[in-house]
Amino acid sequence: MSQHIGILTAGGDSPGLNAAIRGVGKAAQGVYDMRVIGFRDGFRGLVENRAVDLGGGVLSGILTVGGTILGTSRDKPHKMKIGGKVQDMTDVIVENYQANHLDALVCLGGGGTQKNALVLKEKGLNVITMPKTIDNDVGLTDTTFGFDTALGIATDAIDRLHSTAHSHHRIIVVEIMGHRAGWLALGAGIAGGADVILLPEMPYSLQTVADAITDRVKSGKNFSIVAVAEGAMSVEDAARVQAIHERIQSAEAADERKARKQAKSDLKAIEAGAGDHTLQLARQLEELTGLESRPTILGHLQRGGTPSAADRLLATRLGTACADLINDQHFGVMVAARGEHAVPVPLEEVAGNKKLVPPDHPWVVSAGRVGVCLGN
């Protein structure tokens, strides 16, 4: 009897999602004769049973299209806002899984989606995931689809900023996405020839950055490009964040809910200020160096548009491997990229396993060797 599979895309959209939906769907239908449906808008669509049939040519022509044909949301199955109240909707998801006679549920997403999928696995569903995010911060996979495209966009932006920074003898501080990981800023900063690269993993000293820019001026280069990851922080802010984390931990240990809530909202206030941080950094560098300075926030441009060839290839490889694993009844895993291969890794090992930039990573070493200031 043919198997029925459901697919959803969750979290922030990412170039390559449609290539992955197509990869798993075409292989499932064409090779294994499975029936494939999609759910709209992530886990919310599964709760609301908004299903669409992905047969009959729906998957044709989407390989090169950005975003996700299914829509997405950041809703969590076990903490979903329904009518203004946060509720655990996992039982409803199990009911809808059964009502649609599903044999497997494919969840395409980043770090949050891996955790959500694990919750559903623990409810007894046959889940299987694939790693997508422009942040490249999912553990146990070489890379995630979306990253390569965003890397190209951010690099192109830095190239363009160079000519205007050079013409006006300015500092341009360009903010690059990546949540709390610095992969995108580091990769695009190196590829685009940024003079300073600031990462969340390596708190920076403002004075060190200003000195590096002043040294460039002394050597006749009176412009600089500063690539700053959205999660980057000064040494002082990093110490404040660390102190808040300690407050959260001790409030949790003492079961003090009010103190925990307050500490969490203090943390959110610091993290929510990413754009403000970039504006402030540009102002501070202007004051310290005497060079005119401009901030540029690339924002969601980095997630839009057609996926790169590398992302189409990766998403197709992982998608077709996912169909093979479903056929083999191999569930509860993420299909990870390892070299030329696609390997299943248990969701228990992936959930919560955030891949950050190690300070001794070869990219960091190379950046230092070509004279990039990393702010430390």
Q: Which residues bind ligand F6P (CB under 6 A)?
A: 12, 110, 133-135, 177-179, 230, 303
**28, 36 in Cβ contact below 8 A?**
yes
Distance CA 148, CA 192 (A): 14
Task: Report, in Å, the least distance between residue 211 CB and ligand F6P.
Answer: 29
Catalytic residue among 13, 135, 148, 311, which?
135
Minimum CB distance to ligand F6P, residue 12 (Å)? 4
CB 107, min distance to ligand F6P, A: 15
Using CA atoms, how far residue 117 sits from 99, 123, 352, in Å, is: 19, 10, 12
What is the nearest approach in angstroms of ligand F6P to the Cβ of residue 177? Answer: 3
Q: Which residue number, 26 or 40, has a Cβ lying nearer to ligand F6P?
A: 40
Q: How far is the CB of 76 from ligand F6P (least distance, A)?
A: 14
Q: Is 361 exposed, middle or buried (0-12, 13-18, 19+ CB in 10 A)?
A: middle
CA 282 vs. chain centroid, Å, equals: 25
Nearest to 300 by CA among 208, 162, 176, 206: 176
Give the contacts of 307 (CB within 8 A, at least 6 positions apart): 15, 16, 18, 19, 64, 66, 145, 146, 149, 315
Residue 139: CB minimum distance to ligand F6P, A: 15
Query: Three-state DSSP class for 288?
Result: helix
Residues 6+ apart with CB under 8 A from 152: 308
User: Angle at Cα 231 formed by Cα 225 and Cα 237, nearest 5°?
Assistant: 100
Q: Which is nearer to ligand F6P, 5 or 184 (CB)?
A: 184
Annotation marks residue 135 as catalytic: yes
* Cα 219 to Cα 232: distance, rounded to the nearest angstrom: 27
Token pair belonging to 65: 């299209």
Task: Give the residue with the Cβ less far from ligand F6P, 148 or 230.
Answer: 230
The set of residues, in sequence order, having a beta carbon less than 8 Å from that of 221 and lying 6+ positions away, is 195
- CA 283-284-286 angle, to 5 degrees, is 65
> Which residue, 41 or 135, is less far from ligand F6P as judged by CB?
135
Q: How far is the CB of 292 from ligand F6P (least distance, A)?
A: 28
Nearer to ligand F6P, 182 or 332 (CB): 182
Which CB, 3 or 133, lies closer to ligand F6P?
A: 133
DSSP 78: T
Cα(332)–Cα(335) distance, integer angstroms: 10
Catalytic residues: 135
